Amino acid sequence: MVDPTSDLEEDVDEESAPTCATCTEPALGTDRRTVTWVDGDDAVHRHFCSQACRDGWTDERPSAGG
């Protein structure tokens, strides 16, 4: 099933997929993770190809202190 609120529909290929913020591989498939936060008037997104890359990310959100 395609999530109608997602930019990553089933037909997204590696060339048009977002890049993993940790390893720079395409963030595709069911293991993909996304972190989103609001910075002023902007929504900021970081995409990850797996939970391992998400766990290895140096959190840059203002609330994370980093």
The two three-digit tokens of residue 56, written as one number: 């290895």
pLDDT at 63: 78
Q: pTM of the prediction?
A: 0.76
CA angle, 16 then 54 then 19, to 5°: 15
Instruction: Please check the confidence at residue 5 and state whether its pLDDT lies above 60.
Output: no
On whether the CB atoms of residues 61 and 37 are closer than 8 A, the answer is: yes
Q: Where are the domains of the chain?
A: 16-56
Query: Is the model more confident about 12 or about 56?
Result: 56
d(CA 24, CA 18): 9
pLDDT at 47: 94
pLDDT at 1: 41
pLDDT in tens, 23-66: 999 998 888 999 999 999 999 999 999 999 999 999 999 876 55
